[in-house]
Amino acid sequence: MTGETNPSPGGGARSRLVPFAELSVQEIDAWHELRADNPALDSPYFHPGFAAAVQASGRPVSVVVVRDSAGAVSGLLPGHRQGAVLQPVGWPGADFQGPVFATGRAPSPAELLADGLRVVEFDHLVRPGPDFDPCIISSEPSPCIDTSGGLDDYLGRASRSGKDKMKEARRCLAKAERDYGPVRFAIDVVDQDGLTRLIELKRDQYRATGSRDYFAQSGHIQLMHRLLHTREPAFGGVLSTVHIGDCLMAAHFGIRSDHVLHWWFPVYDPVYAQLSPGWILLREVIAAAPELGIRRIDLGRGYDEYKRRASTGGTSVHRAFITNSSTRRMLHSGRHAVVNTVKMSPLAPGLRKVTRRMRGVKLSGRLRSPQP
């Protein structure tokens, strides 16, 4: 039953699973204190404000609360429970995941299996410590941009290709103004219509590439709008836009916490593709970052070309699977290996085309189905 304590194998720390709305003031305060003590958790995804926004958008959030032998909160892991499985809060849209804990005092994997949980699954885990290594299935880079000092200092740190793209963006901006008129940039604007247009363009991009549509779930759209209006000093949404007249040429919506901005949903209007609008936007955001006190932009998992060119550093995130069943762990690892093999196979492009076609068939079928 939710709320019951779960003693650790060593008999020290104890854990329980608590609905987010039932966390005490003391537990929320501990969340802030533990996170502030651990520089590795400065991503906005680890701020309780993110879990609160997800909860308020209609998706229930539960939190594993770990207490030490003295009864003090020593770790917290927000997530979504489905039966005996817990997935991190914001899944599948959270680019950094893991428990919140003080530096050097990570909970053990077993302590996260509270109140009947048999599995805790991650696809962007920030490695808490060596105890989690046996649970890690694969790792990928998660690049970032050091924006301290603004554009001039960034150019001193950037790779040659990064500098070249920034020069190209400057030339494209000048061309856009010659061909279309004045270009307006806003680093942080509360614009409902702008966010709605960003989501429309992003959904068009998903359809064009055959990617899974994150915004097909209305709750995800509600989350974006809620975050847009979250304006706390230490946490909130950030909408950055580039307009030509009244037309949105490029935009980005992300979240920030203190000095970190997470690059989450960038998009541009394909009409302006020849002007490198994404690079124009990124250049302007880097230049304006000091205005918001932003010293780092996290670009998220993967090494896409623009991330490789723009990044100045980074970390790693991991797919991990925590369970107390060796059989369950073996089956999950086998399934992951098969998926990876298919992705690397020469057949992968064809399989992706089939998947896109099937998604279209499913959608068409739903549209034709009579209403009950």
What amino acid is encoded at 355 in this protein? T
pLDDT at 260 over 70: yes
Q: What average pLDDT score do residues 246-266 get?
A: 97
Say if CB 88 and CB 43 are below 8 A apart.
no
CA gap 323, 225 in Å, rounded: 35
Q: Hey, what amino acid is at 333?
A: S
Alpha carbon distance 55, 198 (integer Å): 23
Query: For the chain, what is the radius of gyration of the CA atoms?
Result: 22
- In the chain, the largest separation of any two C-alpha atoms, in whole Å, equals 71
Q: What is the pLDDT of residues 337-363, one digit of tens each?
A: 554 454 444 555 555 554 445 444 333
- The whole-number pLDDT of residue 7 equals 55
2 pLDDT exceeds 50?
A: no
In three-state form (DSSP H/G/I as H, E/B as E, the rest C), the secondary structure along the chain is: CCCCCEECCCCCCEEEEEEHHHCCHHHHHHHHHHHHHCHHHCCHHHCHHHHHHHHHCCCCCEEEEEECCCCCEEEEEEEEEECCEEEECCCCCCCCECCECCCCCCCCHHHHCCCCCCEEEEEEECCCCHHHHHHEEEEEEEEEEECCCHHHHHHHHCCHHHHHHHHHHHHHHHHHHHHHCCEEEECCCCCHHHHHHHHHHHHHHHHHHCCCCHHHCHHHHHHHHHHHCCEECCEEEEEEEEEECCEEEEEEEEEEECCEEEEEEEEECHHHHHHCHHHHHHHHHHHHHHHHCCCEEECCCCCCHHHHHHCCEEEEEEEEEEECCHHHHHHHHHHHHHHHHHHHCCCHHHHHHHHHHHHHHHHHHHHHCCCC
pLDDT at 233: 87
pLDDT at residue 368 tops 50: no
Q: Tell me which fold the domain 6-141+317-352 belongs to.
A: Aminopeptidase (3.40.630)
Is 60 exceeded by the pLDDT of residue 314?
yes
Q: Where are the domains of the chain?
A: 6-141+317-352, 148-294
CATH entry 3.40.630.30 includes domain 148-294: yes
pLDDT at 303: 85
Cβ atoms of 178 and 285 within 8 Å: the answer is no
Hey, which residues does 76 pair with through a beta bridge?
Answer: 65, 100
Structure tokens at 10: 């060593």
Measured distance CA(275)–CA(149) in Å, rounded:
26
CA gap 106, 8 in Å, rounded: 13
What does the mean pLDDT of the chain come to? 89
Residue 366 has pLDDT above 90, yes or no: no
What are residue 320's phi and psi, to 5 degrees? -145, 155
pLDDT in tens, 72-82: 999 999 999 99
Burial 153-174 (b: 16+ CB within 10 A, else e): ebeebbeeebeebbeebeebbe
Q: What is the pTM of this model?
A: 0.88
Q: How does pLDDT run across 31-48, given as a tens digit for each residue?
A: 999 999 999 999 999 999
Interval 170-216: pLDDT, tens:
999 999 999 999 999 999 999 999 999 999 999 999 999 999 999 99
**Per-residue confidence (pLDDT) for residue 328, from 0 to 100:** 59
Which of 40, 51, 66 lies closest to 129, judged by CA? 40
Distance, CA of 201 to CA of 267 (rounded, Å): 7
Give residue-wise pLDDT tens across range 279-294.
Answer: 999 999 999 999 999 9
Confidence check: pLDDT of 3 > 70: no
Burial, 149: exposed, middle or buried (Cβ in 10 Å; 0-12, 13-18, 19+)?
A: middle
- pLDDT, average across residues 314-327: 89
